[in-house]
Structure 1
């Protein structure tokens, strides 16, 4: 097949670069879509990142009203197989229980994608309902890390991260309810921004504030792609129950300037959890780099009751997910999840949460409030918090203790095993504040290790500014001379 670009050119070109080529008429949207499809064919058998390609959108990128005159103007794009619905397309959420499910309408965010000119050419892999840390059910698919296929890419945005890292395309949709953008970005060498609550709409889904622990976003290889994505796709749908943040300046312009010197708190001991010693060394090295760039860096931990926060976050997930399963059961005329269709831990979550009382929910929301207030006070003194993106080495494929296939009889014990490895990302989800994983370090296994910056509400632009400053310090690319073992160029 004749490519519109060589594979080296393909992977050197980010989504903004593709949009510029499209605007100049040097390439056509269908040519980019066809090459993304061929890239999928080259690497997907080894990593199982892409669940399905949409042949009609590949042949004709304006399918379903995608705006070829939009800012991205035909750049190929994958949507995670949960989150915003795509009209008439399968959305099975990594589950046998939802096989054959097709949303009847585009969600508001899907409409934003289309207005921006992102050509939705397929859907990417996710664990069942996005609950656990790895898309790893042999009866559905096993998504692998392209840097080393013996390891998980993490999740729940597993397919999105693996596909971008392997060079299938430069940008993919992702979601984050406790780290599901940032954690797989961190293990795959990508930029992963979890935006503030009030940036991306989840309409027409429920607007209960505890539902807003989960936010929408993307994973990318360049800071400017993520910045441009936020600029193009943010915004409120009609009927939102809270104000939506605006930016005085497009992030794509803001990131061209370095931030003023910042006060950055370095931290890794969060309640009962702390980092692997190698991760601490990499954290210290990153702190020194930030000092070289003119920032003040000190070891400081927020004055937060972390154990109460983790307990409240756990209660939120259990109660929300139990009601989600209850609605699915009602639609199918069932009274309980069939074990042949739903993974064991997800059944246990439903059992644990289905009868949660209003009093329990009230106590949970009270901790959400007190934790958010304390963190807000912390940000009166400190601009950013820096931690590793996760606290333990990336597991090998088949470590079932982190999966919803686990045989752990105690669902709370299962959740607390997750917090032991994913110690730092849930706080931003609970408080609605932004966090970003930046590919600044390496694990002893050779896999990438993200470093995680957090800041106050609506300050997403500052995170992108610092990420862009670091990207420039790395010569314009975080991984200029290294590539995953599974990659379209190999």
Structure 2
């Protein structure tokens, strides 16, 4: 039997190698993962659904010989369906809907890779917050400091990985929801290029192209290999990301070359940056210079009033349509009592928009993509803090917070950097390079040209070698 300590010493590819070489049985690994979940989850509340028997049945049937054969894995409770289970979207409004009749394309690819799904992770209602808290979700806590947020909306996934339940977990990012939790929990989080991974077959895109699926991991190579396993066109996709020249895993360990890197010190919105977050970016810039890269201050273009308005129009409209579709299934109108106040605020905002608002918002984000493409004629990579604050105390960003002004202010002051790259569709990653004096993780964000995940993976691998983070263990695991 593989023990908890040994289990946590390996990333997903490492566990797969142990299983493949016959050093451990896949069933033993799953039972250890379940034991880790039962030990950690009462403290962090990372799991929305425990599907232990589903995982055991998957092993009984057989996982095939994929690169992650037998490795335990968790799905976020939004953005991917698992046959025979309910996707709650973090909302009581979906809790009693019929179980999914089929896997989503992404889930099918996870299974083809050999991953063993044995649970789902928490998300704020409709993925609308940068902290994973709400009336249905409950409160997901940061393994590094239980009174702090694990981030959102993939906060459950981050808490599960950081607390040692799994080495990697599904996540999605429509405004920062991979990178925010990665920063909060000391993990590696890559948001791929728009449409790099499939959204189908039940959707063509997420949030008007803002959202994309991937994972949260402890190692760069796991993220790269999981992107290999899931990326690419699926029949019926309305569009897809540019084709890749070679597997992403092959980029790990390869030199990125001498890069021109722009250091963005301030978000486009102009909100202040905590000195510790600024220090994280500055230290990263110094490290990059010692690695031979050219780093200079640079501010990306953009009018936040225009961009923020477009972003909110796209998010609110998509959330409203999704909720009203569920209401139609129930044969009644959507009401304020069906959802949390933050979610209802999105529905109410969507109702104020006219028919021109949606295509106008799409036009705004497309134009910003062109501005950024021009900006990247000078810079290969943009470096910035991932967040404007270290992991914040729980409470203000709950989706059931009736004080919408306080909620909006808390969100704007916490995460002003990440959304830009959802609007442009560029790949962007949070790398765990800094810890505060009180031992809170603080990520640093790197963003590249559209379609250039390979460059980010090479750079991340270089940083991982120069300043390793894998053996940093969350407080609760010590």
Asked if these proteins are the same fold (TM beyond 0.5), I'd say yes
2:476 aligned counterpart, secondary structure: coil
Q: 1:277 to 1:363 in 2, by over 3 A?
A: same
Match in the other structure for 2:476: 486
Question: Equivalent residue for 1:70?
Answer: 66
Question: Which residue of 1 is the match for residue 150 of structure 2?
Answer: 153
Give the secondary-structure state (helix, strand or coil) at the position aligned to 1:245: coil
- Large movers: runs of 4+ above 6 Å: none
- Looking at structure 1, the residues matched to 48 and 328 of structure 2 have their Cα atoms a distance apart, in angstroms, of 27
Alpha-carbon shift at residue 139 of structure 1 (Å): 5.2
Distance 1:209 1:294, change over 3 A: same
Distance 1:450 1:316 in 2: 27
- Matches of 1:143 and 1:18 in 2, distance apart? 26
Q: Can you list the C-alpha shifts for 1:347-379, whole angstroms capped at 9, x where unaligned?
A: 121112035222112221221121010001111
Deviates more, 1:39-48 or 1:136-145: 136-145
- Contact 1:22–1:74 (CA<8 Å) still a contact in 2? yes
Q: Partners in 2 of 1:155 and 1:94 — Cα distance?
A: 12
Partner residue, 2:254: 257
Describe the superposition over 1:304-341 as per-residue Cα deviations: whole angstroms up to 9, x where unpaired.
223321221111111111111111111112212242x4
Q: Does the residue aligned with 1:60 lie in a helix, a strand or coil?
A: helix
- CA distance in 1 between counterparts of 2:158 and 2:54 reads 21
- Partner secondary structure for residue 172 of structure 2: strand
Distance 1:302 1:287 in 2: 17
1:213 to 203, 210, 214: 210
**Is 1:108 equivalent to 2:98 in the alignment?**
no
Checking the alignment, whether the CA contact within 8 Å between 2:44 and 2:141 is kept in structure 1 is yes
CA pair 138-416 structure 1, distance change in 2 beyond 3 A: closer
| Partner Cα separation in structure 2 for residue 358 and residue 425 of structure 1 | 28
Alignment CA distance shift 1:67-1:418 (3 Å): same
Aligned residues: CA RMSD:
1.8
Mark the CA change 1:221 to 1:409 in structure 2 (over 3 Å): closer, same or farther.
Answer: closer
Distance (Å, rounded) in 2 between the aligned partners of 1:173 and 1:185: 12
- 2:52 is aligned to 55
TM-score under structure 2 length normalisation? 0.95
Contact 1:94 1:135 in 2 (8 A): no
In structure 2, C-alpha distance between the alignment counterparts of 1:116 and 1:130, rounded to whole Å: 26
User: 1:102-251 to 2 correspondence within 5 Å?
Assistant: 102-137=99-134, 140-207=137-204, 211-251=208-248
- Is 2:318 aligned against 1:323? no
From 430, 449, 452, give the equivalent of 1:437. Answer: 430
Instruction: State the partner residue of 2:8.
Output: 11
Alignment partners' CA distance in 1, 2:239 and 2:470? 39
Q: 1:256 to 1:438 in 2, by over 3 A?
A: same
1:66–1:115 Cα contact (<8 Å) kept: no
Q: Distance in 2 between matches of 1:138 and 1:407?
A: 11
**Distance (whole Å) between structure 1 residues aligned to residue 54 and residue 256 of structure 2:** 40
Where 2:145 maps in the other structure, the secondary structure is: coil
Unaligned runs of 5+ in 1: none
**How far apart are the structure 2 equivalents of 1:369 and 1:209?**
16
1:188-209 deviation digits (Å, cap 9, x = unpaired): 0000000001210000233268
SS in 2 for 1:385: strand
CA distance in 1, matches of 2:325, 2:371: 35
8 Å contact 1:202–1:215 — kept in the other structure?
A: yes
Report what 1:462 is aligned to: 455
Matched, 1:297 2:287: no
SS in structure 1 opposite 2:28?
A: helix
Q: Distance in 1 between matches of 2:426 and 2:130?
A: 21
Moved more, 301-310 or 427-436: 301-310
SS at match of 1:61: helix
Question: What is the alpha-carbon distance in structure 2 between the residues aligned to residue 140 and residue 473 of structure 1?
Answer: 38
Q: Provide Cα deviations, 1:122-160, integer angstroms capped at 9, x if missing partner.
A: 111111111112222355421100001011101110111
Once residues 145 and 410 of structure 2 are traced to their aligned partners in structure 1, the CA distance between those partners, rounded to angstroms, is: 24
Residue 52 of structure 1 and its aligned partner are, at CA, apart by 2.2
Contact kept, 8 Å, 2:71 with 2:116, in 1: the verdict is yes
2:39 is matched with 42
**Aligned-partner Cα distance in 2 for 1:178–1:445:** 27
Residue 466 (structure 2) aligned to one of 444, 455, 473: 473
Question: Match of 1:26?
Answer: 23
Secondary structure of 1:67 counterpart? coil
**Residues in 2 aligned to 1:320 and 1:33: alpha-carbon distance in whole angstroms:** 37
Correspondent of 1:387 among 384, 394, 413: 384
Q: Are 1:136 and 1:143, in contact at CA under 8 Å, matched by a contact in 2?
A: yes
User: Which residue pairs with 1:344 in the alignment?
Assistant: 341
CA distance in 2, matches of 1:273, 1:296: 27
1:84-138 Cα distance to aligned partner (Å, 9 max, x none): 1001112212211111332221111111111111111111111111111222235
Q: Any idea what SS the aligned residue of 1:454 has? A: strand
Q: Does 1:448 align with 2:441?
A: yes
1:89 aligns with 2:85: yes
Distance across 2 between alignment mates of 1:262 and 1:129: 38
Q: What residue number does 1:99 align with?
A: 95
> Which shifted more, 385-394 or 209-218?
209-218
